[in-house]
Structure 1
């Protein structure tokens, strides 16, 4: 089911500008494929990624490919978690939770796989990220330019040298971590 996204300006009428598409059908993982361990479940409109007893990792990839888009999603976690959202390639990831290499929270920051480093650090995350509660990400990818909003506040404005022109969207359970992360309301606007 597609729904309109409304943009409203103060004192002006709301106008419809785009269609928002849910990326999950509300019942199962149709349209998504795990790359790695079978650690993903979908129930009651919530996608859960939970590490198995061997702490194997997995990225759940959309089978549909995207160019430019705005992705809205809610996520929730407690404790030590290392997750993220991959943008069109396994190389470019927006981090959720603790960086294994830096040993601190890097939520909203772009991790670039080929360099093994965070290109820049997201700002204004501390105090805005609510552990154990639902948080909202809005990630916009226009060509190589990424912006990230966390709970309505922009925390990242970054241009990637390694962005892919087209590809899937991936959600991660990091290997070697005993963790659980939940996602809901995963919607996308193309263009």
Structure 2
């Protein structure tokens, strides 16, 4: 099963109709069978269901793509994820969709197009330079474009928590302006940021370069507990 592109206006309308999880109770965000309550934003990468998991697949020429769910404020989010080596991914929390073309906060000369997603992203399958090597750190996607936490990259327990090409368990806690992340039980990020109080959850398929891929990323056992 694949999911079609949803306009930002339609997506906002859909959010108003979705019933959020009850505070203090674990609620599944994905039943293993349907993507009816999810909306694709940003790009044209595809999402399907396979063996009880959501599978995101890259597409040449696409921008970063996100499969998005209704907005949440204070919560604990848990999921398992498996990402192809060479692909960068992540999960947005408390994030948003640009309703109109908007200059990027960190670089006003770059205009973010309507429909693009922005906000805190917890890194998955990270690769490249510097902090890119630390999975579980938070990047301000499409807005400030900077790392939100000073993670100890020299700590082997932190840098080695994520297992490339394997299923990894993530735990993310957002309460007030306090954010925490854990990868396979190891605390990665712990910081404060007051930019966002509420927003969508989004599963990212990153854009790829020419003649790269296709790559896939898989999520399963996605659940959330809203906090008082």
Instruction: Please say whether Structure 1 and Structure 2 have the same fold, judged by a TM-score greater than 0.5.
Output: yes
1:43 Cα deviation after fit: 2.1
Asked if the contact 2:28–2:223 (Cα under 8 Å) also holds between the matched residues in 1, the reply is: yes
Matching residue of 1:120: 149
- Give the Å deviation of 1:75: 0.5
> What is the Cα deviation at residue 55 of structure 1?
4.7
Whole-Å Cα distance in 1 between the matches of residues 55 and 151 of structure 2?
Answer: 25
Scaled by the length of structure 1, what TM-score is found? 0.82
How far did 1:115 drift?
Answer: 2.1
Shift of 1:126: 2.4
1:135: which partner in 2? 168
Contact 2:140 2:146 in 1 (8 A): yes
Judged with a 3 Å threshold, the aligned counterparts in structure 2 of structure 1 residues 155 and 38 are, in CA distance, closer, same or farther, namely closer
Runs of 4+ in 1 over 6 A off after TM superposition: none
Gap regions ≥5 residues in structure 2: 1-22, 96-117
**C-alpha contact (below 8 Å) 2:79/2:219 kept by paired residues:** yes
Give the direction of change, closer, same or farther, for the CA distance of 1:37–1:102 in structure 2 (3 Å limit). Answer: farther
Q: Does 1:173 align with 2:205?
A: yes
2: CA distance, partners of 1:100 / 1:61: 26
1:185–1:42: structure 2 CA closer, same or farther, 3 Å change rule? same
Which structure has the highest strand share of the two?
A: 1
Counterpart CA distance in 2 for 1:65 and 1:116 is 22
For 1:1-191, list aligned pairs within 5 A. Answer: 18-35=24-41, 36-62=43-69, 64-89=70-95, 90-98=118-126, 102=130, 104-113=132-141, 114-123=143-152, 124-162=157-195, 164-177=196-209, 178=213, 179-191=215-227
Cα RMSD, aligned residues only: 2.1
Q: Deviations over 1:69-92 (max 9, x none)?
A: 000000012311211111111221
- Number of equivalenced pairs: 173
Deviations 1:37-75, CA, capped at 9 Å, x for gaps: 14111122111111024354311110x221100000000
